[in-house]
């Protein structure tokens, strides 16, 4: 059976200057997980959104949790997903 | 620390701001061309006893700057009474941090109106509240008409890509439909500021 992989989706406001944060998070995940990621999906959206889903489960939302997530929070969520564990609770607001 | 006249004068003119834009310039200029100013509104600015200095904070990637800066960009030459100087938000955090939205957020655009002695008479931040409210109302109506788009707070990533593309197109249509309303709301808010200070 092939090893478990993780798809990470980052929805970011494309008119809010969030590109650097989005790309920094994507880069951190690429470095941390290489082939353990099946895909990183970047979705340009509106109105201040910044949401990160791991394996289809929302792990961070700017609307819900405030601010941008710490990279380690998302790395922990991906690690948990890869291990078949529940994804950790949302990060604290910055 | 108050903005000094010297600091104000160091800002870019409106044309210099446009010249340094790296993105969205075409949309910005199209928006400027599309602004319609009622004669009554224009008279409120033209009739000012003295020109006002207006400090602008903006960035070329910001949707609200692209939408709203062209409005004052048209009012300035049309009235001859608004002296604009523009600063890039991320290069001037000390100025930005004097005009945070709700005391917390570095929202842009910011238009700060000063009299000739550089006393602030009022400010505009980001967008009018009525524009935000109408946008929310229309988004909720869109979700009600199109259950496939999910609830307004459904994570976008949960939507299939083909649905998301339709949703995105619908949102763009809402924005386009709201341009006249939004521009008028901006003009009214700016007019209220200058009339308070006159």
Residue-wise pLDDT for A34-70, tens only, equals 999 999 999 999 888 999 999 999 999 998 888 899 9
Interface test mutation site (partner B, options A17, A53, A63, max chain B beta carbons within 10 A):
A17
Which range among A46-50, B72-76, B93-97, B133-137 shows the weakest confidence by mean pLDDT?
Answer: A46-50
> Is residue A9 within 8 Å of A23, Cβ to Cβ?
no
B152 reaches A (C-beta below 8 A): no
- Cβ distance B157 to A63 less than 8 Å, yes or no, reads no
Chain A residues within 8 A of B90 when measuring between CB atoms: 17
- Cβ distance A41 to B59 less than 8 Å, yes or no, reads no
Among the partner residues B61, B66, B157, nearest to A11 by beta-carbon distance: B157
The interface predicted TM-score (ipTM) is: 0.77
Please tell me which residue of chain A has the smallest CA distance to B158.
A56
In whole numbers, what is the pLDDT of chain A averaged over residues?
90
B166 reaches A (C-beta below 8 A): no
The string of pLDDT tens digits covering residues B128-155 is 999 999 999 999 999 999 999 988 778 8
CA gap A44, A58 in Å, rounded: 16
State the pLDDT confidence band at B116, using cuts at 50, 70 and 90: very high
Query: Which long-range contacts link A85-90 to residues 24+ away (Cβ below 8 Å)?
Result: A87/A54, A87/A55, A87/A57, A87/A59, A88/A59, A90/A59, A90/A60, A90/A61, A90/A64, A90/A65
CA gap B53, B10 in Å, rounded: 13
Interface test mutation site (partner A, options B27, B156, B176, max chain A beta carbons within 10 A):
B156
Among the partner residues A17, A19, A45, nearest to B156 by beta-carbon distance: A45
Chain B residues within 8 A of A63 when measuring between CB atoms: 153
Name the more confident of B139 and A91: B139
Model pTM score? 0.88
In whole numbers, what is the pLDDT of chain B averaged over residues?
95
């Amino acid at each position: 059976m092939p090893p478990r992989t993780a798809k990470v989706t980052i929805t970011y406001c494309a008119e809010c200057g969030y590109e650097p944060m989005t790309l920094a998070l994507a880069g951190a995940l690429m470095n941390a997980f290489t082939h353990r990621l099946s895909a990183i999906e970047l979705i340009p959206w509106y109105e201040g959104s910044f949401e990160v889903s791991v394996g289809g489960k929302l792990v961070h939302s700017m609307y819900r949790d405030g601010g941008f997530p710490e990279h380690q929070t998302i790395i922990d969520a991906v690690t948990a997903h890869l291990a078949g564990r529940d994804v950790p609770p949302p990060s604290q607001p910055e | 620390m108050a903005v000094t006249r010297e600091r104000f004068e160091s800002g870019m003119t409106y044309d210099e701001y446009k010249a340094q834009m790296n993105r969205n310039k075409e949309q910005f200029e199209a928006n400027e061309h599309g602004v319609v100013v009622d004669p009554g509104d224009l008279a409120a600015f033209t009739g000012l006893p003295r020109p006002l200095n207006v400090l602008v904070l903006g960035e070329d990637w910001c949707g609200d700057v692209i939408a709203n800066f062209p409005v004052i960009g048209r009012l300035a030459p049309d009235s001859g009474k608004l002296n604009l100087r523009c600063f890039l938000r991320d290069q001037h955090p000390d100025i930005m941090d004097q005009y945070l939205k709700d005391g917390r957020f570095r929202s842009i655009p910011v238009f700060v109106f000063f009299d000739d002695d550089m006393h602030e008479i009022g400010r505009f931040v980001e967008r009018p509240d009525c524009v935000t409210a109408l946008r929310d109302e229309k988004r909720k109506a869109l979700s009600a008409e199109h259950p496939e788009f999910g609830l307004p707070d459904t994570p976008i990533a949960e939507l299939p890509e083909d649905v998301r593309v339709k949703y995105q197109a619908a949102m763009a249509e809402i924005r386009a439909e709201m341009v006249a309303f939004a521009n008028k709301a901006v003009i009214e808010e700016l007019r209220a500021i200058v009339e308070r200070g006159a």
